[in-house]
Amino acid sequence: MLPLRNGAWKWLAVAGMMMAILSGCEPVKMGVLNPKGPVAQKQYDLIIWSVVLMSVILIVVFVLFVVILVRFRASKLSKDYEPPDVEGNTFLEIVWTAIPVLIVVALAVPTVTSTFDLEKSPSPNKKPITIEATSAQWKWIFKYPEQGIETVNYLKIPANVPVRFKLSSHDAMNSFWIPELGGQEYTMADMPMFLWLEADKPGKFIGRGNNFSGRDFAKMEFTVEAKKQSDFDSWVDHVKKTAPKQSEKEYKALLKPGTVDLKTYSSYPKSAEVKEPNHGGMEHGGMDMDHSKMKHEDMEGMEDMPGMDHDKN
Amino acid sequence: MGLFNFKMPEHFIIMNNPLIIGAWISIILVSVGIVFFVTKYKKWGYLWREWFTTVDHKKIGVMYILAALLMLFRGGFDAILMRTQLALPDLKVLDAQHYNEIFTTHGTVMILFMAMPFIIGLMNVAVPLQIGARDVAFPVLNAASFWLFFVGAMIFNISFVVGGSPDAGWTNYVPLAGSDLTPGVGINYYLWGLQIAGIGTLATGVNFFVTILKMRAPGMTLLRMPMFTWSTLITSIIIIFAFPVLTVTLAMLTFDRLFGAHFFTIDAGGMPMMWANLFWIWGHPEVYIVILPAFGIFSDVISTFARKRLFGYNAMVISMVAISGLSFIVWVHHFFTMGNGPWINSVFSITTMAIAIPTGVKVFNWLFTMYKGRIETPAPMLWSLAFIPNFLIGGVTGVMLASAPADYQYHNSYFLVSHFHYVLIGGTVFGCLAGMYYWWPKIFDFKINERISKWAFWLFVVGFNLCFVPMYLVGLQGMPRRVYTYGEHMGWTTWNFVETIGAYLMGVGFMLIVWAIIYSILHEKRDRSGDPWNGRTLEWAISSPPPHYNFSRMPSRVTSADPFWDAKKRGETMFDENEPLKPIHMPNNDGMPIVLSGFMFIAGFGFVFEWLLIGFIGLLGVIGSMIWRSFKDYDADHYVQVDEIERDQAELKAALEGRS
Amino acid sequence: MASSSVPKGTPNFPEYQTEEGRLKIFGFWVFLAAEVVLFSTLFATYLVLADRTAGGPTGKELFEVKDFMIETMLLLTSSFTCGLAVLEMRKGNKKGVFIWMIATLAMGLGFLGMEISEFVAYVHEGATLQTSAFLSGFFVLVGTHGAHVTLGVVWISLVLTQVAKRGLTPMTCRKLFIGGLYWHFLDVVWIFIFTAVYLTGLI
């Protein structure tokens, strides 16, 4: 009876897990299964589709597994039962090669289309805002180049507006992740990258550094608040009027390893802007790997965008 | 930094924590105890002659497995500490630095110093017997492989008491692991421990590749090899192509850290992303190096205990070849979030998903091996049965992770942690345990106690699922891997507590396995006849334990992939008893491997502390050992004479008759 | 000499005469496959980093055509003499083996001397391992090859002392043959270095 119980037990556990995942909101109140924007929603749909496909495989194999174990246990068979001397079955083997192929195709197609979609603005008709998110040991620095302000360890974005995050790192590699708004991307010192996110409605979320970066990595959590555009604008005005300017010295001090509290600045020094590194010396290095080249082009497009002038009042 | 730099690191002897002081005390007590008892019972000579200088693949295999179990204890202890720290929010069992060191050593130890030696140990134990060989192709090199692995493991393991442990994760990503952000000796320990063990592993790959291709018994064509031998052959090929990449990658970071080179630095043109690429070009094949042999074990065990031929032998071989090929073209899926662009991510998503196809074929073939079989469930079969559903859970979540856009949400979260523990524990660890239970009564003359083992099995498997199912959920809730604590407000508390309970159950399960082994050494019934499971392949055709030359006559009736089973059906043995016994050519014991590895330890230790003079002296010793060996190469073998073989046979006969 | 007992027209491969010899030669080929992977990784790394000079000297500024052409000729010729030595070995001509192998080693040493002076010159020009990613890649790739050549010289010299002591037995022949394989392999690697590093660097 033992292996049957094994199978049955596992069966229950997995059924429970699948139910928990499929029911989405109940046991899992936050995170990936609680999408609050178009990017997270797209990824959520893909995840659910993959769970459905995988459940088919799980159910088929688990049923076969339990049935075979129950049916062909030595203790259940007559003493003189001799297993047949078979070597295989070409037809069956083709069947269970072909079915996984179909399942893989069924998952690969939406995977590829989503991969390309996520490179673009989730709402191409709306004017996006750009925010530079920089990780340093062990804090997050958010610069708003269009507004000229800077926050540390908290982020405010306008709701219903696509946000183009320019991700970079001062030192160790990290990863910028706000599960409710969408998937993450790495922050790296030698290759700034872009990530599109958008919040449907005003709300509060938790974001975090998601790639291990040293001692106080666990503390690299930040709050995200999506505000109505008008509220966001008045917050920006408020910051500009009340928050201190950031000196070059202060910025350098901020980058030193350590944890800091929430901070707000009405400006940041020019030297703090995220720049494209130049590895080649005199001439611009052209031997980067393919993907970084792709991002270089992205980057050049970026410079032509309106609203990039740094407003330093 | 000059040749004569002997600067001591800030903390040479680590004593800053009660846990580490406890470790110091136990290390000293155990070492003194071992030295005392070995001296008291005058066993140094025995150890030197029978174990330290042995070139017998069976003994080397046993040493590998023993070391692997020790490392499983160490890595498991790390895991228990981590789970204790994470049981509830904001606990202070471990501080941030200590936690970071422990998850780093847990991962590194489990993959490189537990899974690898366990697998290689089982290869050593079983493969030459399965193909009817008297040893591996290069027995001395084989011993050197073991001792190099052992030295690598020791170098890595002393880090937590001498100088400080590595703390940048087992993936050791730069720039964090560079000397700017992580000065000190910890990362150097990682680099040298892996480098030395890796050289040993590469030699193992070459050794088994040649052994399997060139030393099979007459009649054993490639498509009549047992599935574990097939998996070893394919694994050897992966090792030969993957491990040199690790060697180079580690060497380059060593140059960065010790000599100020700029391979992976942020400044002077270095390229941190190259580390991630190179690491996983080795690292992904590496996970197949530890899973394919487990597949081989399951194939042999399932067909043995279903009393049926393996279903779809050719498909099993083809799918393993396909998996090994694919394993080299999927590495980018470890960093879909590194900005590779949509084309690259799409291609690697698809190649990764494609691995599910040959793996799926294997799962169905295992199921249909059991279909219409006559299934018995002793310990090796229990672990193999548990493998199928558990590995499947790991496998399907692997396919989910393969979808790049979805991976942006799973990456580096506990969802990923759970996935790779399901495949590595559900696949590799279950496979190693199945293999250990299966071949134990071949290497020794007794089985491991069934009753205790069943308890251990159920505790471990239930604990395993209790520990890792919640990790999928908590991962989807946004919990990242490698955090040393979390806040109550995140809502992860309940699941984390359940995970910790599961981890403790696994710990109890492991201790019961150890107890089952000790109990069986003392009490289990002895049986030298050699075929305790009603086996199907050549290793069961000889006595347990086999004589050191394995086969007194070469097996001569290999007509299928289940030669011994078929011979038994025909009422024959595997051997032509009329063939006269001939003297057997065997290698002599050799002290070079352990001496060379001792010098390697000195070299490694010197370079870890950046004491270059000591490092170079060690390297000179290594080269000197090889030269010394080359000159005494001319007197390195002997013949086992016929009268000795006859004596062994008579002794075996007496033992078997005494039993009945 | 052993060759006199061999019938004319029958190739005599003393290195393959024992089972152990056959296994070791086959094993060495497999090891060379691993070495190919090792050097491929170094080449890939070098090519990725080749333009990352970080303001330091470029290959074009450093490489001297005359020097690396002489290095190349030395190594290519030594591979040829090494092949002659193995042919003499198969004829059982110990003296021929010594003549050609010592010529091989001399050219190997010449190559190493030139490479070391090349490295020293670069360092004097301020081009060191620490200067840039390009130079890190250069020194480690070319240096790894140089270390292999050094090992080859030491190894073949030791095998020659064994041949001097024991004559051309199946075992010493196997060792000579494997040493020769290794030497040819290093020559092939050098051809790639010559093309991918030096010639490409001039452009």
- All structural domains of chain B with their residue ranges: 389-526
Burial class of residue B574, CB neighbours in 10 A (0-12, 13-18, 19+): buried
Would you say residue C8 lies in a domain? no
CA distances in angstroms from B83 to B261, B285, B406, C47, listed in the order given: 38, 29, 27, 44
Q: B163: helix, coil or strand?
A: coil
Closest residue in chain A to residue B341, using alpha carbons only: A291
Q: Which helix (H) or strand (E) holds B553?
A: none
Task: Reply yes or no on whether the pLDDT at A79 is more than 90.
Answer: no
Mean pLDDT (whole number) for C72-93? 94
Mean pLDDT (whole number) for A198-222? 94
Q: Are A281 and C133 a contacting pair at CB < 8 A?
A: no
Residue B271 has its nearest CB partner, among C37, C38, C133, at C133
The per-residue pLDDT for C2 is 40
**Contact status, residue C41 vs residue B278, Cβ threshold 8 Å:** yes
The per-residue pLDDT for B8 is 79
Task: Reply yes or no on whether the pLDDT at A163 is more than 80.
Answer: yes
Domains, in order of start, for chain A? 2-74+88-117 (1.10.287), 129-271+289-302 (2.60.40.420)
pLDDT band of B25, cuts 50, 70, 90 = confident
Neighbours of chain A (3+ CB pairs under 8 A): B, C
Domain of residue C188: give its range.
16-49+65-202
Token duo for residue A192: 């700034």
Residue A263 backbone dihedrals phi, psi, to 5 degrees: -140, 150
The per-residue pLDDT for A308 is 33
d(C-alpha A246, C-alpha A268), whole Å:
5
Would you say residue C56 lies in a domain? no
Would you say residue C60 lies in a domain? no
What is the percentage of chain B residues whose pLDDT exceeds 90?
87
Size of interface B-C (CB pairs under 8 A): 115
Residue B214 has its nearest CB partner, among C23, C132, C136, at C23
Model pLDDT for residues B95-106, shown as the tens digit of each residue: 999 999 999 999
Q: For residue B159, which amino acid is it? A: S
Length reported for chain B: 660
Whole-number mean pLDDT of chain B? 94
CA distances in angstroms from A215 to A141, B96, B254, listed in the order given: 18, 6, 22
d(C-alpha A89, C-alpha C1), whole Å:
62
The per-residue pLDDT for A287 is 37
The per-residue pLDDT for A67 is 96
Size of interface A-B (CB pairs under 8 A): 317
Mean pLDDT (whole number) for B483-510? 95
The per-residue pLDDT for C5 is 40
**Contact status, residue B381 vs residue B433, Cβ threshold 8 Å:** no
Provide the shortest C-alpha distance from residue B183 to chain A (in Å).
12
Closest residue in chain C to residue A289, using alpha carbons only: C48
A282 CB neighbours in chain C (<8 A) are 55
Would you say residue C96 lies in a domain? yes
**Contact status, residue B185 vs residue B254, Cβ threshold 8 Å:** no
Q: Are B403 and A107 a contacting pair at CB < 8 A?
A: yes
Instruction: Give the torsion through C-alpha atoms of B558, B564, B569, B573, to 10 deg.
Output: 80
Dihedral sign of CA atoms C148, C152, C155, C157 in order: negative
Provide the shortest C-alpha distance from residue A14 to chain B (in Å).
8
Model pLDDT for residues B500-541, shown as the tens digit of each residue: 999 999 999 999 999 999 999 999 999 999 999 999 999 999
CB-based contact (8 Å) between B249 and chain C?
A: yes
pLDDT band of B22, cuts 50, 70, 90 = confident
**Contact status, residue B630 vs residue B20, Cβ threshold 8 Å:** no
> What's the number of domains chain C is made of?
1
Mean pLDDT (whole number) for A186-214? 94
Q: Are B251 and C137 a contacting pair at CB < 8 A?
A: no
Provide the shortest C-alpha distance from residue C79 to chain B (in Å).
24
Q: Are A287 and C55 a contacting pair at CB < 8 A?
A: no
Neighbours of chain C (3+ CB pairs under 8 A): A, B
Task: Reply yes or no on whether the pLDDT at A18 is more than 90.
Answer: no
Mean pLDDT (whole number) for B226-237? 97
CB-based contact (8 Å) between B636 and chain C?
A: no
d(C-alpha B134, C-alpha B640), whole Å:
12
pLDDT band of B13, cuts 50, 70, 90 = confident
**Contact status, residue B557 vs residue B219, Cβ threshold 8 Å:** yes
Give the closest residue to B412 by CA, choosing from A224, C198, C86, A176: A176
User: In the sheet that A129-136 helps form, which strands lie side by side, from edge to edge?
Assistant: A193-197, A163-169, A129-136, A139-144, A149-152, A263-265
Q: Are B480 and A210 a contacting pair at CB < 8 A?
A: yes
d(C-alpha B392, C-alpha B398), whole Å:
9
Whole-number mean pLDDT of chain C? 91
Give the closest residue to B509 by CA, choosing from B72, B121, B84, B120: B72
Would you say residue C59 lies in a domain? no
Domain at C124, CATH number: 1.20.120.80
Provide the shortest C-alpha distance from residue A260 to chain B (in Å).
16
The per-residue pLDDT for A10 is 55
Residue A143 backbone dihedrals phi, psi, to 5 degrees: -110, 140
**Using alpha carbons only, what angle is made at residue A74 by residues A73 and A79, rounded to the nearest 5 degrees?**
140
d(C-alpha C121, C-alpha C108), whole Å:
20
pLDDT band of A9, cuts 50, 70, 90 = low
